Structure 1
Amino acid sequence: MSWIREGELNLIERISANILKAGPMPKHVAFIMDGNRRYARKRHVERQEGHSQGFEKLAETLRWCLNLDIHEVTVYAFSIENFKRSKEEVDGLMELAKQKFVRLLEEKENLEKHGVCIRVLGDMSLLPLDLQEIIAQAVVATRAHNKCFLNVCFAYTSRHEIANAVKEMAWGVQQGLIKSSDVSDELLSQCLYSRNSPNPDLLIRTSGEVRLSDFLLWQTSYSCLVFQSVLWPEYSFWNLCEAILQYQLSYRSLEKARGLHRESQSRQQLEADCLCVTELLQHRGNGKPVDAQGRQEALRKYTASREERVQDFLNVLQSKRDLFYTNLCSQAAVA
């Protein structure tokens, strides 16, 4: 089954979609695709069949999202916690993932036609090497596409992601790329696996569970959270419309909270920069007073140098991550 399905909505779906699109629409939607195993039990089929049906539903949901002008989707495909399941089930999920990414590589022309960029967020080192190599080829092959984005969280938990971001910042300080005073919640956001994506506007979890299960904890602080009782393989276009409607009803309060958060971040950064400038002036001026204009100019220069320093550090991180995927592709080519 193709990752990107062709086809338009039917007449009733198109009418409903146009009505929805008259209001504020989420640009980025995240899914916790829960209920595959319960679906398998309900249908009296093997667990692997439930997971396979879950993938088919993802392909269908991506088509709906494209028709609704939702151009970024993030899905929770495999948690690090899932490694605790039976070896048979984990091996089956790894094999299913391998098959689907191989299939994706066979669809390069279709992905290029739609401009689909595939990103895999998670700790790749936890995966079998052959799967790492196939994933790397898919990521590199679609890296330049920029019309729509599919972020697959695989071997992922949010706590692991945040801990990794902290390690990245500590490494940057150790290497002299950034200063300890440059560390902030905004910089941490830029060090997450999801650094290239805006935070989700809407997060949807299926199966009736009302918890996030360590998914995008940092990124969804100001997102609309919708919990639906339907099992993932049974998800419908109308379930998606219902979730979007809930987002629209919450839109104003979400935007207000996001605005206040941005203001708070800016204020905290300004206070931090002012403190650093004060310390620098005291050190350089031997206690001599500096007038307001001098302080303002020193603050401007310090802010510019901090921003340049941080951007250079982020460029190094991006290069390091790009090289990781490139090396995996090279290994695959040699093999």
Structure 2
Amino acid sequence: MRLNVRCVSAYAFAIENFKRTPEEVDALMSLAEEKLLEICQHGDLLGEYGVRLNVLGKTSLLPPRVQAVITKAEEMTRHNNRAILNLCMPYAARNDIAFAVDSTIEHAIAEGWDREITEDDIAAHLMTAAAGSPPLDVLVRTSGVKRLSDYLLWQCSENTQLQFSNTYWPDFGLWDFVPIILDYQQKVWAGASSLKAVSS
């Protein structure tokens, strides 16, 4: 909020994570339920800052108790419109793309389109677009890992800066984030300057 970032998406749980041991999955589901309940209990804080919470992913795979608290948390913040917090769980970019293609085809049939389906049509049906998220400017991968791990693949395929941090996610804070924002701004300004030079 201090840096005027309008939308943050966090990869909380991958669909692939369901392949972990039942004990691990159950512990992670309990943690998700606990943290979402905390959000519900402190909904006034999200309201104060105007943050809308969205949970993006194949939520039908989650236990009913987690689905119920997701619904409650989303409904509590639905009227907020200053910023967006997307929790992606359980999420996979390939599933997101497949869902968007399927939804686009259904929409085209229902509307009786007599034209080809475009990339823009599919992009409009991605989970992030449906949640009102703006285009993805920066994707940060923490923990020293240099792979995207099936996360927001369509969204980061054009004009998105990829940033890699050695800091592990639980320790990632403002002082890790500020250099990333400054680097992003520098590259945007440099790009704008070169465009002006070309168009002059």
Preserved CA contact (<8 Å) 1:224 1:254: no
Which of 25, 39, 63 does residue 104 from structure 1 map onto? 39
Q: What residue is the counterpart of 1:49 in the other structure?
A: none
Q: What residue is the counterpart of 1:172 in the other structure?
A: 107
1:241-297 residue CA offsets vs partner (Å, 9 max, x unmatched) = 1211221232146669xxxxxxxxxxxxxxxxxxxxxxxxxxxxxxxxxxxxxxxxx
Which of 116, 124, 137 does residue 72 from structure 2 map onto? 137
Which of 83, 106, 127 does residue 62 from structure 2 map onto? 127
Q: Which amino acid aligns with 1:96?
A: L
Q: What residue is the counterpart of 1:315 in the other structure?
A: none
CA distance in 2, matches of 1:109, 1:237: 23
Q: What residue is the counterpart of 2:197 in the other structure?
A: none
User: How far does residue 161 in structure 1 lie from its aligned partner after superposition?
Assistant: 0.3
User: How far does residue 88 in structure 1 lie from its aligned partner after superposition?
Assistant: 1.0
Q: What residue is the counterpart of 1:205 in the other structure?
A: 141
CA distance in 2, matches of 1:91, 1:200: 31
Q: What residue is the counterpart of 1:215 in the other structure?
A: 151
User: Which of structures 1 and 2 has the larger relative contact order (alpha carbons within 8 angstroms, sep 6+)?
Assistant: 1
User: How far does residue 115 in structure 1 lie from its aligned partner after superposition?
Assistant: 1.1
Q: What residue is the counterpart of 2:167 in the other structure?
A: 230
Preserved CA contact (<8 Å) 2:138 2:161: yes
Equivalences, count = 190
Instruction: Summarize the alignment of residues 46-61 of structure 1 with structure 2, pairs less than 5 Å apart.
Output: none
CA distance in 1, matches of 2:169, 2:52: 24
Q: What residue is the counterpart of 1:157 in the other structure?
A: 92
Query: Between Structure 1 and Structure 2, which shows a larger proportion of helix residues?
Result: 1
CA distance in 2, matches of 1:133, 1:193: 19
* Larger-gyration structure (1/2): 1
Instruction: Summarize the alignment of residues 305-320 of structure 1 with structure 2, pairs less than 5 Å apart.
Output: none
2:128 maps to 1:194: yes
Q: What residue is the counterpart of 1:245 in the other structure?
A: 182
C-alpha RMSD of matched pairs (Å): 1.7
Q: Which amino acid aligns with 1:138?
A: A
1:3-62 residue CA offsets vs partner (Å, 9 max, x unmatched) = xxxxxxxxxxxxxxxxxxxxxxxxxxxxxxxxxxxxxxxxxxxxxxxxxxxxxxxxxxxx
User: How far does residue 171 in structure 1 lie from its aligned partner after superposition?
Assistant: 1.6
Q: Which amino acid aligns with 1:197?
A: S
CA distance in 1, matches of 2:121, 2:43: 34
1:293-324 residue CA offsets vs partner (Å, 9 max, x unmatched) = xxxxxxxxxxxxxxxxxxxxxxxxxxxxxxxx
User: How far does residue 110 in structure 1 lie from its aligned partner after superposition?
Assistant: 2.0
Identity across aligned pairs (percent)? 38
Instruction: Summarize the alignment of residues 260-275 of structure 1 with structure 2, pairs less than 5 Å apart.
Output: none
CA distance in 2, matches of 1:85, 1:191: 30
Normalising by structure 1, what TM-score? 0.54
CA distance in 2, matches of 1:142, 1:236: 24
Preserved CA contact (<8 Å) 2:144 2:166: yes
CA distance in 1, matches of 2:16, 2:111: 34
